[in-house]
């Protein structure tokens, strides 16, 4: 089964590539059908097999030989491994579906920010609505589990409130640095932090944001130190928040338990 989900994951990765390429440009996800960006030739089924087509064509368009972005391959491979891992972690369950959805969501947000330095409202806003609905029906894992009553209206209200409060926490936590260090962090990051709160809930919102800030700070420091980036150049923060959120979705409860257990 794990292999089946790995293959399914690579197919989802293909779709994520379409989202990453088309959403920032304001293009439709379904029309026109997949084509080479260079020569506009429509791609046939044999050009669209995840991972294998890229390797078989050695990363070049079959029709015009233009190179194909390596990200297409990595997104497919990564998505496949990720889905296999989430399946192994959760088994076939609601958590599996929700975690996979969120991980893929944050891959799209993170890669779009990496490539365009943009966090798209048209992804973040609908995702926030979905997250709030999920919060009400599937309360976030964490120490709040102890207080949660049986599934029902009350549990739904608590889950929704938890999501909203955590979203507000995320919003405020990144609003402060965004206001102080203008330029480094933008409105997109603040809205993304609110979404992360809605998705992860309390107390995991702290784990995700703290991890994102530390990771971003370390990498930015490294890039500046070795002069790969100049001080004036913007380093998008969204990819780090995305990575940290995915890690929190997968291991956040373990991190909290380890932290609480170390007292």
When binding is defined by CB under 5 A, the residue of 6, 19, 23, 61 that contacts Zn ion is 61
- 36 makes contact with Zn ion (CB under 5 A): yes
Which DSSP category does 35 fall into?
A: B
| Dist. CA 104–CA 83, nearest whole Å | 9
- 39 makes contact with Zn ion (CB under 5 A): yes
Q: Which CB atom, from 66 or from 121, has the smaller least distance to Zn ion?
A: 66
How far from the centroid of its chain's Cα atoms is residue 4's Cα?
Answer: 22
Phi/psi for 182 (5° steps) reads: -60, 145
Binding piece for Zn ion, criterion CB under 5 A, among 64-72, 151-159, 186-194, 220-228: 64-72
| Dist. CA 194–CA 172, nearest whole Å | 8
Binding piece for Zn ion, criterion CB under 5 A, among 34-42, 78-86, 207-215, 220-228: 34-42
Q: Which CB atom, from 48 or from 154, has the smaller least distance to Zn ion?
A: 48
- 128 makes contact with Zn ion (CB under 5 A): no
Q: Are 179 and 112 in contact (CB under 8 A)?
A: no
Q: Which CB atom, from 47 or from 135, has the smaller least distance to Zn ion?
A: 47
| Dist. CA 179–CA 214, nearest whole Å | 19
| Dist. CA 203–CA 257, nearest whole Å | 11
The nearest distance, CB 68 to Zn ion, in angstroms, is: 9
When binding is defined by CB under 5 A, the residue of 49, 60, 63, 202 that contacts Zn ion is 63
When binding is defined by CB under 5 A, the residue of 7, 11, 18, 38 that contacts Zn ion is 38
The nearest distance, CB 167 to Zn ion, in angstroms, is: 43
Q: Which CB atom, from 39 or from 143, has the smaller least distance to Zn ion?
A: 39
Q: Residue 21: name the closest of 5, 45, 44, 43 by CA.
A: 43
Long-range contacts of 37-45 (CB under 8 A, 24+ apart): 37/66, 38/64, 38/66, 39/63, 39/64, 39/66
Q: Which CB atom, from 61 or from 75, has the smaller least distance to Zn ion?
A: 61
Q: Which CB atom, from 39 or from 234, has the smaller least distance to Zn ion?
A: 39
Q: Which residues bind Zn ion (CB under 5 A)?
A: 36, 38-39, 61, 63-64, 66
């Amino acid at each position: 089964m794990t292999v089946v989900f790995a293959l399914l994951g690579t197919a989802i990765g293909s779709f994520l590539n379409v989202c990453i390429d088309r959403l920032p440009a304001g293009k439709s996800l379904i029309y026109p059908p997949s084509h080479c960006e260079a020569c506009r030739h429509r791609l046939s089924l044999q050009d669209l097999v995840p991972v294998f087509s890229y390797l078989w064509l050695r990363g070049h368009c079959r029709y015009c030989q233009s190179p194909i972005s390596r990200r297409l391959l990595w997104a497919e491979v990564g998505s496949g491994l990720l889905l296999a891992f989430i399946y192994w972690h959760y088994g076939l369950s609601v958590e599996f579906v929700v975690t996979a959805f969120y991980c893929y969501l944050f891959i799209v947000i993170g890669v779009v920010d990496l490539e365009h330095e943009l966090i798209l409202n048209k992804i973040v806003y609908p995702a926030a609505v979905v997250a709030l609905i999920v919060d009400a029906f599937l309360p976030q894992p964490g120490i709040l589990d102890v207080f949660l009553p049986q599934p029902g209206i009350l549990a739904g209200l608590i889950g929704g409130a938890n999501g909203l409060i955590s979203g507000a926490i995320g919003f405020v936590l990144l609003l402060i640095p965004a206001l102080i260090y203008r330029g480094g962090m933008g409105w997109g990051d603040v809205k993304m932090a609110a979404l992360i709160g809605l998705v992860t809930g309390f107390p995991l919102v702290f784990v995700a944001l703290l991890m994102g800030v530390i990771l971003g700070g370390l990498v930015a420091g490294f890039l500046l130190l070795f002069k790969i980036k100049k001080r004036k150049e913007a380093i998008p923060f969204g990819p780090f928040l995305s990575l940290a959120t995915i890690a929190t979705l997968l291991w956040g409860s373990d991190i909290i338990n380890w932290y609480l257990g170390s007292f």
